[in-house]
Structure 1
Amino acid sequence: MTPTHESAETLKFPILIGDIGGTNARFALLVDAFAEPRPFPVVQTADFPNIDDAIQACVLDKTSIQPRSAVLALAGPIRGEEIELTNCHWVVRPRKLISDLGFDEIILVNDFEAQALAVSALPEAGREAIGHPGTMGEGARVVLGPGTGLGVAGLVRAKRMWIPVAGEGGHIDLGPRTARDLALWPHLETIEGRVSAEQVLCGRGLVNLYNALSRADGREPEPHTPASVTAAAGAGDAVAREAIQLFGTYLGRVAGDLALLFMARGGVYIAGGIFGHIAPFVDKAAMRAAFEDKAPHSALLREVPLFAITLPLAALAGLATFARAPRFYGLETVNRRWRR
């Protein structure tokens, strides 16, 4: 049994689809090409020593259906025969999953490739425009999502296929623009001297912003988590509210940069649970203005839609869309597909 070296053309049903992050794992079964995914309760990765036990206990023991294929999105780089997740103790061993759990084949993708697959067929009801809606085009799309880190992926249209492009775009540099930014930047935690987008635009980044704001104003910050910063904003805490406002502005800036990088006339999509939690406190007009503030191409950015994804379990929906018809996607499976 060796990894194949061609793109997937068809997959055998039933298909297990899974979105495995640092904290949670979500699974669903796709019985056939016309069925909607049947989701299972969310799994806490800390509750199981490995993915094998989680699939057995939370999926296979709960149904009489034996999936023949599995398409799993992992929060981590996919290399070799043992794939370690970035923020989780699980190690995914595809050969062992096939031999122990009865799959005929397994395909592994990056978690933000799954988000990119989702925006290839996202219904209008599954997204919400941020600011004015722009003009929806047929070009490339971008998805970025603040979570444990900052995930980024592109989706390019070519030869009647959607081609997801994964990378580490969350680690691009983020620099100060305004006087307030210049006051904050010396107080932000860095990685080897760098302020990357992920240092600000993720869960710990929101706390990083809160702490920097406090210190810039001459106060020692109170201990906080991302959830408690959001709660403090809801209770009227001025520092927490400014942290969230700036989070939205910086997210708009980075989204605009990525729109230029991919010439994303098909839109830029914000995914991830963090934005959903803080959205009531984000100044959407300011976020949209930061998105468009890209001279000399501000006029171009005014035409690009910026959306928040509101569809629950969007990554699973993206995996299901791919699993039904892999031939419509230029998803590279070299060294990422294993067969019995």
Structure 2
Amino acid sequence: MANVSSGTAKVLHFPILIADIGGTNARFAIVTDSYAEAKRFPSIKTADYPTLDEAIQSVVLDKTSIQPRTAVLAVAGPTDGDEIDLTNCDWIVRPKQLIETQGFGDVIVLNDYEAQALAVVALDGEFLKPVGGGEKIESSNRVVIGPGTGLGVAGIVHGANTWIPVPGEGGHVDIGPRTERDYQVFPHLETIGGRVSGEQILCGRGLVNLYRAVAKADAKSPALSKPEEITAAALDGSDPVAVETADLFLEYLARISGDLALIFMARGGIYLTGGITHKILPMLDEKRFRAAFDNKEPHRNLLEQVPVYVILHDQAPLEGLAAYARTPSRFGVDVEGRWWRAD
């Protein structure tokens, strides 16, 4: 078998197994042809299966008579090499082994936020909740940002009638204090390498970091220690520190989203996703969010024109992967070194 050196895939062989594999959960579906709806399988916890291979066998292949010829996997981690380690998960993706043991003719491995970026092109409007104003320019750059286990960021740019996803590590950009309250809270944040990155605040462990910092700024003992406890207490109003933490979390998410909108000139929109975002969505104050998002002098006017959406689809990456599987020529996905083919 060979690692294909071609830059992009123009045609993939059906049926196609698609998978969104995160640090905590994995979701699978099969696309049988260019027009069929994807056949979905139950979501699983990665910790419940020792390997990806066993998960595919138990959750997919043992439950259907369809034998996929191609696998397109989106994974939370770097996608180079014949053995791909996943971030926050013990699974190792071995494309050659999948070809040998499970009969795939082709295996393509993408980054999970590439799949999220593909999804912002594929999703219908019913799955997008606008946050404030702005007007989408259809064939313009877009950005997806998602606080979850980590802070995922990816762009998707349009050129030569093709959508090109741009994965990266945008979740690790610096974030600094701006308001008087920020200057009270930020000295108490746990840093990494002496700095505060977006992911030090805008993810599950970041939410805990921010909660502790808010408590210390007010000389209080933090009563909660888990992200789910903080979000629950914020939503029911039982812990004032948790309420302020969630409010600040959304404000800081707005600031970084505005930065990314400028970097990508994202007139096609900023798309918010991620488990933490969805949990605290009822607390989202659109006016406060947009005020923080737009406050980018001297380019406030530009930011005011950029739409922001919350992705409401619970399996958006699979929608992106399905769109790619059906018509890969629509997308400029660079698969060099990430596409394995049986001899």
Q: Deviations over 1:218-256 (max 9, x none)?
A: 012123211110111133121111100000100000000
Alignment of 1:99-178 (within 5 A): 99-132=100-133, 134-137=134-137, 138-178=139-179
Deviations 1:28-81 (A, max 9, x none): 011111111111011111111110000000100000000000100000001211
Deviations 1:96-130 (A, max 9, x none): 00100010001000000000000012211010011
Secondary structure (helix, strand or coil) at the match of 1:116 reads helix
Point out the more displaced range, 281-290 or 140-149.
Answer: 281-290
Residue 295 (1) aligns with residue 297 (2): yes
For residues 102 and 305 of structure 2, the distance between their equivalents in structure 1, rounded to whole angstroms, comes to 49
1:82 alignment partner AA:
E
Q: Hey, what does 2:316 align to over in structure 1?
A: 314
Normalised to the residue count of structure 2, the TM-score between the two structures is 0.98
**What is aligned with 1:272?**
274
Q: Quick one: distance in 2 between partners of 1:256 and 1:5?
A: 37
Q: Report if aligned partners of 2:151, 2:203 keep a CA contact under 8 Å in 1.
A: yes
Which residue does the alignment assign to 2:210? 209
SS in structure 2 at match of 1:59: helix
Note the aligned Cα RMSD (angstroms). Answer: 0.8
Deviations 1:2-28 (A, max 9, x none): 111111010110000000000100000
SS in 2 for 1:139: coil
Question: TM-score of the superposition, structure 1-length normalised?
Answer: 0.98
Q: Distance in 2 between matches of 1:265 and 1:131?
A: 14
Give distance in 2, aligned partners of 1:78 and 1:91: 11
Length, aligned pairs only? 339
Q: Matches of 1:169 and 1:147 in 2, distance apart?
A: 14
1:153 deviates by 0.3
Aligned to 1:75: 76
Task: Give the alignment partner of residue 328 of structure 1, picking from 311, 326, 330.
Answer: 330
Q: Deviations over 1:287-329 (max 9, x none)?
A: 1111100000000000000000011200000000000000111
* C-alpha distance in structure 2 between counterparts of 1:225 and 1:318, whole Å: 31
State the partner residue of 1:44.
45
For residues 317 and 282 of structure 1, the distance between their equivalents in structure 2, rounded to whole angstroms, comes to 25
Distance (Å, rounded) in 2 between the aligned partners of 1:228 and 1:96: 40
Q: Counterpart of 1:241?
A: 243
Q: How far apart, CA to CA, are the structure 2 residues paired with 1:72 and 1:192?
A: 32
SS at the partner of 1:338?
strand
Question: In structure 2, what is the equivalent of residue 339 of structure 1?
Answer: 341
- Measure the CA separation in 2 of the matches of 1:311 and 1:235: 24
Q: Distance in 2 between matches of 1:230 and 1:293?
A: 26
Q: Secondary structure at the match of 2:280?
A: helix
Q: Which blocks of at least 5 consecutive residues in structure 2 are unaligned?
A: none
Q: Give the AA of the match of 2:152.
A: G
Residue 284 of structure 1 deviates from its aligned partner by 2.1
